[in-house]
Amino acid sequence: MMKLGKISPLAFSRMKQRGISIAALNDLLARGQVEKQLDGAAIVYLDSPDHAPSWAQRPQPRLYAVMDAAGEVLTVERRVRRLRG
């Protein structure tokens, strides 16, 4: 479980453009799987939405967030295919 810290201006702008709410980002960080990178960054993702959380009327699309080593959210995106692994 990760907590929401600082969101970069680019990430916040992209969230607005893509219709991704702060509540959706909080849910992603609380329930998502974390994939650590060698440089300390992390990719947090939800592969399949469970039952819709309280902030949604319908299941949300798959989401992912990229965070730097300090925990700042760099970008948030809807995933349309699986991450390479």
**pLDDT of res. 85:** 52
Q: Per-residue pLDDT averaged across 36-45, rounded?
A: 90
**pLDDT of res. 31:** 86
**pLDDT of res. 59:** 47
CA angle 73–62–39, rounded 5-degree value:
35
Read off the pLDDT band of 11 (50, 70, 90).
Answer: very high
The Cα 15–Cα 9 span in angstroms is 10
Which stretches within the chain are classed as H helix? 9-18, 22-31
Residue 62 near residue 48 (C-beta atoms within 8 A): yes
**Predicted confidence (pLDDT) per residue in 53-82, tens digit:** 555 554 456 888 999 999 899 999 887 655
